[in-house]
Amino acid sequence: MRTVVFNQKGGVGKSTITCNLAAISAHHGLRTLVVDLDPQGNSTHYLLGSSASAPEGSLADFFDQTLNFKLNPKDTSAFVTATPFAGLDVMPSDPALEDLQGKLESRYKIYKLRDALDELAQAYDRIYIDTPPALNFYTRSALIAANGCLIPFDCDDFSRRALYSLLESVQEIRADHNRALEVEGIVVNQFQPRASLPQKVVRELIEEGLPVLQPYLSSSVRIKESHEQAKPMIHLDPKHKLSQEYVALHDTLARKYGA
């Protein structure tokens, strides 16, 4: 299963959702990989902590190799780094991704990520892809490489307006490049059940027939501590309410795929 976590709006929790679901997959004994396509590298820092600044290989190195043909290219596995968490690896981000984007687009390298993940398919049971907050080359590459898309949603009017065009973008990629791509669901993040607006917005999305997933993820200061300590919630505080919500969300997705 390859899942891309995608939203064109920043600050909706893409990296947090990616890393916490991946950490739960690994915790359940599944061989798991996170692919961090965002040049900001939030997933990379979340999973590697102080080691994030010096990985042996990064996605920038991988994409640079696709631009500079070599007789003996490195295997895709050379761009994978082990995290401190058993069963969980990451293809780290790098700020150089920003500079490479134009060259990759102009030389039509849009399928290279899909090909790389095909090479790694036997090594991993779950692959989660974190994307930049924009529909750019890297996001399109991720949508072409994945078979499922999760959409974080943070319960405000701006997110709702962006949601419809985002769904259209996913369907366009599906029609033009990747018939296997499906929207796995909308992940309601930082939900405040006592506030009327989030309840109203989510209820209306459900009434429209959109695939809103249960459970909703609560707002909690504990997640900031999780970021600071570079420990996903299942490792930082497995009994916390938010940790249990992530586990339940992971189980919902697992049932969807019969695994």
- Mean pLDDT (whole number) for 33-52: 93
% of the chain surpassing 90 pLDDT: 80
- Mean pLDDT (whole number) for 151-168: 87
The pLDDT of residue 256: 75
161-185 as b/e: b if 16+ CB within 10 A = ebbeebbebbeebbeebbeebebbb
Strands 81-82 and 182-188: unpaired
Does position 29 have pLDDT exceeding 90, yes or no?
yes
Whether the upstream peptide bond of residue 133 has omega within 30° of 0, thus cis, is no
Of the pLDDT bands very low, low, confident and very high (cuts 50, 70, 90), residue 55 is confident
Give the CATH class of 2-256. alpha beta
The pLDDT of residue 197: 83
Burial of 34 (0-12, 13-18, 19+ CB in 10 A): buried
The pLDDT of residue 54: 66
The pLDDT of residue 202: 92
How many residues does the structure list for the chain?
259
Task: Judge contact between 76 and 56, C-beta under 8 A.
Answer: no
Q: Which of residues 157 and 231 earns the better pLDDT score?
A: 231
Question: How far is C-alpha 86 from the chain's CA centre?
Answer: 19
Does position 258 have pLDDT exceeding 70, yes or no?
no
Task: Judge contact between 195 and 160, C-beta under 8 A.
Answer: no
Q: Which of residues 6 and 143 earns the better pLDDT score?
A: 143
Closest CA to 76 of 108, 117, 43, 31: 117
Calculated CA dihedral for residues 223, 227, 231, 233, nearest 10 degrees = 10
Lowest mean per-residue pLDDT among 31-35, 155-159, 226-230: 155-159
Which residues share a beta bridge with 153? 188
**pTM of structure:** 0.95
Of the pLDDT bands very low, low, confident and very high (cuts 50, 70, 90), residue 257 is low
Domain locations along the chain: 2-256
pLDDT (tens digit, 9 = 90+) per residue, 227-239?
A: 999 999 999 999 9
The token duo for 158 is: 């701006």
pLDDT (tens digit, 9 = 90+) per residue, 97-147?
A: 999 999 999 999 999 999 999 999 999 999 999 999 999 999 999 999 999
Query: Mean pLDDT across the chain, nearest whole number?
Result: 93
pLDDT (tens digit, 9 = 90+) per residue, 184-193?
A: 999 999 888 8
The pLDDT of residue 108: 94
The token duo for 31 is: 């061989």
